[in-house]
Amino acid sequence: MTSFRSAASVPPTERAHVRAAALTVIVNFYNLGTDAVPALRSLARNTDPRIRFVLVDDASTDDTRDLLETAARTLPRTQVLALPDNVGLGEARNRGLALLDTPWFTFLDGDDHLAAGYLPALLDEVLAAGVPWVRTDHVETEGTRRTLIRIPDRNRAGRIGVPRDSITGARTTSVDFAHAWSGVYHRELAEAGIVHYPAELRTAEDRPAIWKLHLQVPAFTIARTVGVFYRRDNAGSLTRTGDVRQLAFLAALRQIADIVHADPEAERFELKLVQNQCGLISWHYSLRARFSPALRARFYREAAQILDAADPAVLAEAVASMPEPRAQAIGAVRRAGRLLAALPAGPAAVPEVRHG
């Protein structure tokens, strides 16, 4: 486990109500156009002498960059980073981190927004906590519906916990909530490479990072303050696409397995690792109709390989812990993978394997 300063050794200026810049908010945008306006307006309702904004435009081809430049002229302590080439959300976050000059940082996606006064209140709580990682709950929005999403962990509202102790067993835990913006991080976590997003992953880029955080950060808590509004109904979101980028989650799962297996206590986390794999694979199976036949075949092959690499007893325990439809999905994926492996290379059709 990576060594960080203890809470007691954090300088008082990082734990008190200081007026110097303390928090950098990295906000990523790509071809959002007017969909970026709610985020920019919400930043204007969160200005504070201690907070600076870095607006990263990932080589948009519409008028997004113009909107950011206009906003930066009125938002105090705001910088626009215009990338010359589109690099994807994860690498765009990394580029923003390269400009970090405050002790703390967090993220926001440009199609989400913040409650008024959220960031100053959250920063006060972070500075008082004395730990390098403070997680946050969020509000999920879909149309007019608003749902509070709480991270399922008892280490909240002042209670400090050890992240790795929160992710064992076959159950939903903090590690399943991978959103980069659902937390505030000390800059040491970026400098140590823990908060870093694989450039090759166009989706699921935050999943290896959330496992690193849980396995390598010594202490965390979940804030009382809630104020991120996460949009689920954005038609342009990558999570709604059916192209090859969506299969990046398979590479993410392989990276996570490498991270876990490199840990001295790897056996302790094996069940959670496999349960995490099964959960993501079964969810993508439920959306398989969006894939072309070739991509569906690749999904079956690679997902089945990941499942078959697990210890059979651990896999059986993980599947037994799942709701029946998801458990059946895992069986279907494994059968489809076996059928495809038995076919000659480049099958003209993808076998459809039913539940049961």
For 172-215, what is each residue's pLDDT tens digit?
999 999 999 999 999 999 999 999 999 999 899 999 999 999 99
Q: Which residues contact 245 (CB under 8 A, 6 or more apart)?
A: 202, 203, 238
Same domain, 177 and 114: yes
pLDDT cut 70: percent of the chain above it = 88
Residue 25 · residue 54 · CB < 8 Å? yes
**Which of 234 and 290 is assigned the larger pLDDT?**
290
Instruction: Give CA–CA dist 65/76, Å, rounded.
Output: 18
Instruction: Give CA–CA dist 296/250, Å, rounded.
Output: 13
Same domain, 177 and 65: yes
Number of domains observed in the structure of the chain: 2
Q: What is the pLDDT of residue 262?
A: 98
Within 13 Å, how many C-alpha atoms sit on residue 72's CB side? 18
Same domain, 233 and 253: no
178: nearest Cα among 154, 214, 153, 141: 214
Same domain, 132 and 230: yes
Q: What is the pLDDT of residue 347?
A: 47
Provide the 10 A C-beta neighbour count for residue 185: 26
Same domain, 208 and 268: no
Q: Is residue 355 part of a domain?
A: no
Question: Strands 138-142, 145-149: parallel, antiparallel or unpaired by DSSP?
Answer: antiparallel
Q: What is the pLDDT of residue 20?
A: 83
Q: How confident is the model at residue 6 (pLDDT cuts 50, 70, 90)?
A: very low
Same domain, 67 and 203: yes
Q: Is residue 354 part of a domain?
A: no
Same domain, 96 and 208: yes
Domain boundary among 239, 269, 293: 239
Q: Is the pLDDT at 328 greater than 60, yes or no? A: yes
Instruction: Give CA–CA dist 209/93, Å, rounded.
Output: 12
Q: How confident is the model at residue 267 (pLDDT cuts 50, 70, 90)?
A: very high
Quote the tokens at residue 247.
Answer: 């299969």
Q: Is residue 150 part of a domain?
A: yes
Q: Is residue 47 part of a domain?
A: yes
Q: Is residue 350 part of a domain?
A: no
Same domain, 281 and 179: no
Same domain, 146 and 224: yes
Domain boundary among 239, 269, 284: 239
Same domain, 202 and 75: yes
Q: Is the pLDDT at 351 greater than 70, yes or no? A: no
Same domain, 214 and 277: no
Domain boundary among 239, 267, 301: 239
Q: Which range marks the domain in which residue 227 is found?
A: 7-239
Instruction: Give CA–CA dist 135/253, Å, rounded.
Output: 22
**CATH number, position 29:** 3.90.550.10
